[in-house]
C-alpha cells in the first residue's frame, strides 16, 4: 500500500536551495524526490544505533599480503553465519583486493561487525551503508517481470515472490545432483 503525499513548507538559504536544485537536475528528478531520498537515508542511518532489522553493505579495500588478514576477515564473516547474505571479492592489482559484504540482521550488531572489519589491521579503506528494513515498506516481497526486472509504472507484473532466504531443507533440495562418471 502506498502512502499519500503530504505537502509542507520548507525554508532554507538561497545557496542551499540552489545546491538542492543542482542535485535534483543531476539526478533527473525534482526537489521533493531529493528531499524524500535524504529523509529516508537519514532515518535509516539514525536507526543503526537501535536494535532494528536492517541490511548492511560493507566495502573493504585491503592489502592481501598482510599476514592472516584474509583469514581474519573471513572468520568475522563466518561468525555471522546466515547474516552474511552475499560477498564479492575482486583483485584490484597484485597486492590489493576489494571486498563487498552484504549482511542482514540487527542494525547495532551489523554496525559492530562492520566497524571491526573496517578497523582490522591491513584494511586500507572501508565504509558501510545501512538500510533499516522499516524504511523499505513492503520491500521484502515484490514483483518482477519475466526478465527479472522490478516493476515500472504502466507495466504488467507477472511473477510475485519473496526475497527472503529459503529454508535450509529447500536450499539443499535445490542443489543439482552430483554427476557420477561412468567407468570406462
Q: According to DSSP H, which parts of the chain are helical?
A: 14-27, 31-47, 69-80, 107-118, 168-174
Q: How far is CA 46 from CA 91, 114, 123, 131, in A?
A: 33, 16, 26, 10
Instruction: List residues bridging with 84 in a β-sheet.
Output: 103
Reading the chain (184 residues) residue by residue, the pLDDT tens digits are 577 889 999 999 999 999 999 999 999 999 999 998 888 888 777 777 778 999 999 999 999 889 899 889 989 888 888 999 999 999 999 999 999 999 999 998 999 999 999 999 999 999 999 888 887 765 444 444 444 444 444 444 444 444 444 444 444 444 444 555 555 4
Domain count, the chain: 1
- 21 in a domain, yes or no? no
C-alpha cell at 37: 531520498
Q: Is 81 helix (H, G, I), strand (E, B) or coil?
A: helix
H or E element at residue 162: strand 159-162
Residue 151 lies in a domain: no
Tell me, yes or no, whether 9 lies in a domain: no
HSE-CB at 169 with a 13 A cutoff on CA atoms is 0
Residue 104 within any structural domain of the chain: yes
Residue 35 lies inside a defined structural domain of this protein:
no
Contacts by 32-37 with C-beta closer than 8 Å and gap 24+? 32/5, 35/10
Instruction: Please give the pLDDT value at position 172.
Output: 45
The pTM of the full predicted model, rounded to 2 decimals, is 0.61
Q: Give the CATH number of the domain where residue 126 resides.
A: 3.30.70.1150
Residue 91 lies in a domain: yes
**Is residue 111 a part of any domain in this protein?**
yes
Q: Is 83 exposed, middle or buried (0-12, 13-18, 19+ CB in 10 A)?
A: middle
163 found inside a domain:
no
- Domain with 57, as residue range(s), is 53-135
User: What digits encode the pLDDT tens for the residues 30-82?
Assistant: 999 999 888 888 877 777 777 899 999 999 999 988 989 988 998 988 888 89
Amino acid at each position: 500500500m502506498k502512502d499519500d503525499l503530504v505537502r509542507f513548507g520548507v525554508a532554507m538559504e538561497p545557496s542551499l536551495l540552489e545546491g538542492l536544485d543542482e542535485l535534483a537536475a543531476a539526478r533527473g528528478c525534482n526537489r521533493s524526490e531529493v528531499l524524500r531520498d535524504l529523509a529516508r537515508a537519514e532515518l535509516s542511518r539514525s536507526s543503526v544505533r537501535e536494535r532494528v532489522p536492517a541490511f548492511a553493505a560493507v566495502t573493504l579495500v585491503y592489502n592481501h599480503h598482510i599476514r592472516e588478514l584474509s583469514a581474519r576477515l573471513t572468520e568475522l564473516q563466518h561468525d555471522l553465519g546466515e547474516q552474511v547474505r552475499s560477498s564479492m571479492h575482486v583483485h584490484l592489482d597484485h597486492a590489493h583486493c576489494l571486498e563487498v559484504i552484504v549482511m542482514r540482521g540487527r542494525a547495532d550488531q551489523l554496525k559492530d561487525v562492520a566497524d571491526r572489519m573496517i578497523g582490522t589491521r591491513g584494511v586500507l579503506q572501508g565504509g558501510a551503508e545501512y538500510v533499516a528494513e522499516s524504511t523499505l515498506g513492503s520491500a521484502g516481497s515484490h514483483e518482477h517481470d519475466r526478465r527479472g526486472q522490478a516493476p515500472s509504472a504502466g507495466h504488467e507484473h507477472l511473477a510475485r515472490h519473496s526475497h527472503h532466504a529459503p529454508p535450509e531443507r529447500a536450499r539443499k533440495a535445490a542443489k543439482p545432483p552430483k554427476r557420477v562418471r561412468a567407468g570406462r
